Amino acid sequence: MDRDDYRFIVLGSGIAGLYFSLKVADQGKVAILTKKHRAESNTNYAQGGIAAATGPDDSVEQHIKDTCAAGVGLCRAEAVQTILTEGPARIRDLIELGMQFSRRQSAVPGEKEWDLGMEGGHSRRRILHAQDITGKEIERALLAAISRHPNIEIYENYFAIDLITSRSLRLEEPDRCHGLHVLDIEERRVLTLGAQAVVIATGGCGKAYLYTTNPDIATGDGVAMAWRAGVPVTNMEFIQFHPTCLYHPQAKTFLISEAIRGDGGIIKNLKGHPFMDSYPLKSLERRDVVARAIDQEMKRKGSECVYLDITHKPAPFLMNRFPHIYQTCLRYGIDITKESIPIVPAAHYQCGGIRTDTEGLTDLPGLLAIGEAACTGLHGANRLASNSLLEALVVAHRAAERLRELPLQDPHPNLAPWADAPNPDKEEGVVIRHDWNEIRRVMWDYVGIVRTRRRLERARKRIRHLQDEIQEFYRQARLTPDLLELRNLVTVADLIVQASLTRPESRGLHYILDHPQTDPEWSRRETLLIRGRPPSWTSIACSPGSGTA
């Protein structure tokens, strides 16, 4: 890989990184780095779909209203208006690139229309999907388009370590990003790469928790790198727990799509009672409400799971609408056409992240962040289902367009090579596994769906102690992907704890028993974390009509 041959280096091969690369490739050569296989991303595992106001009874205004209600008074006005307004155009772009959304027979004989799905928190059917494997179809379409473009190269098994900045180079100039250090996993060597712009599209941090719907790659790498470079991070207390993850001893992180609830699935307890019926929207309440209700029911009954029942729907409908879920559950001995699905909540989506605007720009010139790793403010305190893929498309497009106007600088001609020289023979997998498991258990027990100040303080002490141990170990041990992930994981865990202790109220995904009500004064405040400074908050312009309940 030629360190000076690429204008843009993109970290991550999900929808945000791939779509951005396609949009920016006419401006110069693009290198996409992914720490595993090119199709291994959170996008690839997305089942539900993309929310956009495309239906005849829908409107952008209604989509905005639903998004703000889910965000509980914390959605940034500009982000909501921009992303949801421009969303339908980006959907058309995706279709032109070869994306195949599911269709159904329309009222007009011989014609078909989009098969729009319904999910929790939405007031209209607006979820475009490809059966229940939307993410896989998106990856297929984008990777096919990438393979046809001469200006884009994908490098698999390259793990980004740290950003190279003016400050890290000790240059007497305003701080900016010049490039990064990267571990070539197969060759076991560290490369020093320069670029005019580095784009973080590394996804979220679900693996910080014991139970998650995310793949193993979701270790918060981009957020941790940006944090170490001094880039502000915001709203990390808002970790969305998906209420319906398959509960089975042999199943690993398998998500049961929210679309099943949208199509009539009912959440029940062990005795078959639909305990969500006491809520206004019943089983179709937004995710934070459903996850807390399930958590409360499990604790109240002492049960390990609850159930999602859709057996009242015709078997052919279920097998055609949810083929992936049907076949996967069947493999574990569960026939969803005849029996209820055992489910538990699991960490699912990171609503906070690297602070950006709607063009992906961070506070560090030369560094952009898009997708789940970034926080545009669209989601507020709780992501509305299926808004994330739309956000990735719109912000990636706007970032590419913005880079046409920015005067990008060449990286510094004398980038410092990798300075660390760890012992090449010292590799202790048992230490890494132990620390990884302890982080995930601490986060699940103390920083989960329902929190208390005492639990958060306990988590902070333990995570800080682990940070010190891991940093010392990192300086001495052989550089491996597992060690890099552990280092990033403990960093992001600490950021989540810090942000959670900073917000003195319950709002959306952050529910703390010490302060169970929302505080109106905090409806316009985002938590703000900057390295070397105490945690604080910043005021934002919220979208009108945002809820406070």
Residues assigned a catalytic role = 287
SS3 state at 246? strand
Neighbours of 327 (CB within 10 A): 11
SS3 state at 41? coil
Question: Residue 548 gets which letter from DSSP?
Answer: -
161 φ, ψ (degrees, to nearest 5): -100, -65
Nearest to 455 by CA among 442, 465, 436: 442
Nearest to 41 by CA among 201, 159, 149, 148: 201
Burial of residue 530 (CB within 10 Å: 0-12, 13-18, 19+) is middle
List C-alpha distances in Å: 10 to 155, 197, 414: 10, 9, 21
Q: Amino acid identity, residue 231?
A: V
Supply the DSSP string of 280-335, one letter for each residue: TTGGGS-HHHHHHHHHHHHHHHT-S-EEEE-TTS-HHHHHHHSHHHHHHHHHTT--
Q: What angle do CA 165, 195, 389 make, to 5 degrees?
A: 95
Report the alpha-carbon distance of residue 450 to residue 510 in Å, rounded: 8
Q: Is 397 left (phi over 0), alpha (psi -120 to 50) or beta?
A: alpha
Question: Residue 93 gets which letter from DSSP?
Answer: H
- CA end-to-end distance (rounded Å), the chain: 52
Supply the DSSP string of 428-444, one letter for each residue: -HHHHHHHHHHHHHHHH
List C-alpha distances in Å: 77 to 5, 46, 74: 39, 27, 9
Report the alpha-carbon distance of residue 9 to residue 21 in Å, rounded: 9
Q: Which two tokens stand for residue 84?
A: 């949801």
User: What torsion, rounded to 10 degrees, do the Cα atoms 192, 194, 199, 204 define?
Assistant: 10
Residue 194 and residue 416 in contact, taking contact as beta carbons nearer than 8 Å: no
**Long-range contact set of residues 439-444: C-beta below 8 Å, sequence gap at least 24:** 439/208, 439/463, 439/466, 439/486, 439/489, 439/490, 439/493, 440/207, 440/208, 440/209, 440/210, 441/210, 442/493, 443/208, 443/209, 443/210, 443/493, 443/496, 444/209, 444/210, 444/211
Question: Residue 92 gets which letter from DSSP?
Answer: H
Q: Amino acid identity, residue 95?
A: I
